[in-house]
Structure 1
Amino acid sequence: MPAPAPAPAPAAGGRGHLLAFAALSASYFAHIGFFNPYLPLWLKDLGLPIFTISLLTSVQSITRVFAPYAWGAVSDHTGHRVLLLRISAAVALVSSFGLWWHGGAWWLGLVLLVMFTHTSSMMSLTEAAMAHLVAGDWGRYGRIRLWGSAGFLVTVFFAGEWFEHFGMGHFPAWAGGTLAIVLIATLRLPDVREPAAAHSMVKDPVGPVLRIPAVRWFFMSLFFHVMAHFAVYGFLSLYLDSLGYGKGTIGLLWALSVVAEIAWFYLQGRLLGLFAMPRWLLICGVAAVLRMGITAGCGPWVWALAAAQALHALSFAAHHTACIAMVSRHFPGRLRGRGQALFTVIGYGFGGVLGVLAGGAIAQHFGYVAMFGVATLLAVVGSICAWRAQRLEAGAF
């Protein structure tokens, strides 16, 4: 008798593939959920001054200037996005072991450079693969992405409670443990590739796309919007600590922002249709202005900080989906990897580097309130750029 035919592989975008990407999103943001909020507090616990802390936390943004585009170009050429994700996770895990040795600021900078060079490329590679799978179904995209928010929520809360009771000394163990889970998640991903990208030697140029005025204004709005948010990403924990809030309360405020994020990703399939994507960019920009302004002026009132954190649903979650939609529209097919990389490089790379370094300098000389005031002004500029992009994109979505 002839041998039975092998079972067909799941179709791209099938339930098994989407669950695998949901697991990766959950594990990756579980790592981010503990690492980003508590890295500044760990560095402070090591006795480092604020400006040195800002330099070390800016390493992640520095790597986002070059790593995502380099990995994105390789993925567009080869189509092996999942293999690159596995390599990135493995190298990041091994490099995290260097956090156990306290060799001073230079050593920590080197360890973080190697680790972030690989973790900073992971989301652009993942987003490119996910955009291919969901094919513009932003409700389904949101349901995958909310698992990342849930992973962030779990670790930002439990890590805060852990560090409150046991101190910051276990930070390196948390780093290694969460990155090990990320590596396991990448090993379970399906090897989904876009055939044209996998076999063609032809490279579609990105220059013509970048010459479109609406694209330029979009990237400018992204730059200022994300630069403003690095006041939150880099210094919110230190700001709250300086006001006397405990690590448990800090963790709860971070967790609240992620609950709002999860709610948005769950509902966005029904909400995004209310406005065109460029209009959502403007709405999210206004939300960012309110968030930064409330944080700057109402720090002593925890209820006001909670309201500011709830605006994360718009200033981050809705903004993120609108940006992915804009990138997917203007950078299709073999441009997809480089388009997602440009999103990371311009926003979280250049915007992040300037945001963290400027934020550290302003906080050290003028205080955290002044820093959040500057972030409010940056969010205003980002909103103006978003308004201009919306005018140019009228009728496109």
Structure 2
Amino acid sequence: MFKTSPMSAEVQLRWLGACYFFFFAILGVMVPYLGVFFESRGFNATEIGSLLAILMATRIIAPNLWAIVADKTGMRSELIKIGAGAGALTYLSFFHPGAFWYMVVSLTVYTFFWNAILAQLEVITLETLGDKPQRYGIIRSFGSLGYIVLVVAAGFAIGHWGPEVLPYIGMGLFAGMLAACLPLPANRVKLSRDTPKVKVKLAGPIGWFLLSAILLQMSAGPFYGFFVLYLKHAGYSEATAGLFVALGVIAEIVMFMLAPRLLGKYGIKPLLFISILFTAFRWLMMAWGVESLFWLSLSQLLHAFTFGLVHAASIQFIHQQFDVSRRSTGQALYASLSFGVGGALGTWACGLVYSHNPSLSWVLAAGFAFVAALLVLPLPGRRVETAAV
């Protein structure tokens, strides 16, 4: 594991916070507005759903390939740097207004390298924190801050200059991501040859957890793929839609601050169950209350549970269930099966339904979330221990 002095650990955590900021700032541009960007280039709802599904689908294979390299070689910060550099180069393809299959290839190549980053970032952060994993929420909140800043800024930029400004914003953020990760030390995880490697078992609690995570991300399909378009067709501007996204991220940041105490008091299982159940109700509000500022605002405030508390609990669950020799694999499995398989299936399926009946896609999402909540019930009820910060 990483062995650094308290001072060097604090410096490293600052750079990791910067990496989270730029990584999720890129998401803040790509996730809410990519649908609007593709629509401006003439793609229909089915094509947009298919293109957005690629963003999720590459998470099925790419993180696991990078995790194998990380666990075999001990390289983690190096993979983040490779992913950021190669991702920036391949992102240049967005500037060319290609047809559907051009964008398929462009998205596939760019996201293959981009997906090298997050799982390693999570592992390095938790290992740097050592016996204070409850500080994870504070470091991770820099990512939420990056997301909220760029969601709002990109919304106003698109409203002023049009969707074609998106590649320029994204390119600047990729440059920032590369600059933030370059100072990370190349501390490799050194394992003794005699260290037993625990075989990854997908049966039991891990299996139930991953199935629930897949269905939860399937339920987020219309939100990640069509939220801004849905609000635009309901009469809201892109800038207003960006403010609603920002409201959800503010709630998420607050939840990240509260998550350590909640996890220590109640444990992972009950908080996951309640949070996912709230998610089901949230999507129903989107289906039938989008024209009401009250219900739309409430649904966005529930993002604190849908993502904030769910993510904090999930990262802790994976960290507990996998030993040091398999932690990159564990984080990659979580990312690839939930955000990859679940996200791709959800975006694709909801894209098909959205093209016929936008409101019905949110009802389908609520059904996915309800089943995901039920799958949490077989998990063990172990609590997360909290230490003094």
Aligned residues: 382
* Aligned with 1:234 (options 209, 213, 225): 225
Residue aligned with 2:93, SS: helix
Cα distance change of structure 1 residues 103 and 304 upon mapping to structure 2, 3 Å threshold: same
The answer for unaligned runs of 5 or more in structure 1 is 1-7
Task: Say whether 1:36 aligns with 2:31.
Answer: yes
Query: Equivalent residues in 2 for 1:121-140 (5 A)?
Result: 121-135=116-130, 137-140=132-135
Post-superposition CA distance 1:98-148 (Å, at most 9, x none) = 111112111111111111111123111111111212236343101100000
Letter aligned with residue 345 of structure 2? L
Letter aligned with residue 304 of structure 1? W
Query: Equivalent residues in 2 for 1:76-225 (5 A)?
Result: 76-135=71-130, 137-196=132-191, 200=193, 204=197, 206-207=199-200, 209-211=201-203, 213-225=204-216
Alpha-carbon contact 2:159-2:239 (below 8 Å) kept: yes
Task: Say whether 1:394 aligns with 2:389.
Answer: no
Q: 1:248 is matched with which residue?
A: 239
Alpha-carbon contact 1:222-1:347 (below 8 Å) kept: yes
Letter aligned with residue 208 of structure 2? W
Residue aligned with 2:26, SS: helix
- What CA RMSD, in Å, does the superposition of the two structures yield over aligned residues? 1.8
Post-superposition CA distance 1:276-330 (Å, at most 9, x none) = 1122111111111121111111011122111101111111011001111111111
Q: 1:17 is matched with which residue?
A: 12
Calculate the TM-score normalised by the size of structure 2: 0.94
Q: 1:340 is matched with which residue?
A: 331
* Aligned with 1:379 (options 366, 369, 372): 369
Letter aligned with residue 236 of structure 1? F
Q: CA deviation at 1:13?
A: 7.3
Once the two structures are aligned, what percentage of the paired residues are identical? 29
Q: CA deviation at 1:206?
A: 3.7
Residue aligned with 1:324, SS: helix
- Between the aligned partners of 2:230 and 2:35, the Cα distance in structure 1 is 11
Calculate the TM-score normalised by the size of structure 1: 0.92
Q: 1:71 is matched with which residue?
A: 66
Cα distance change of structure 1 residues 244 and 201 upon mapping to structure 2, 3 Å threshold: farther
- Between the aligned partners of 1:21 and 1:166, the Cα distance in structure 2 is 32
Alpha-carbon contact 2:83-2:115 (below 8 Å) kept: no
- Between the aligned partners of 1:48 and 1:136, the Cα distance in structure 2 is 49
Q: CA deviation at 1:203?
A: 8.1
Residue aligned with 1:193, SS: coil
Alpha-carbon contact 1:41-1:237 (below 8 Å) kept: yes
Post-superposition CA distance 1:234-289 (Å, at most 9, x none) = 11111111111101110001100110011111222333222011221111111111
- Between the aligned partners of 2:108 and 2:7, the Cα distance in structure 1 is 34
The answer for unaligned runs of 5 or more in structure 2 is 385-389
Task: Say whether 1:350 aligns with 2:350.
Answer: no
Q: CA deviation at 1:396?
A: 6.6
- Between the aligned partners of 2:75 and 2:355, the Cα distance in structure 1 is 44
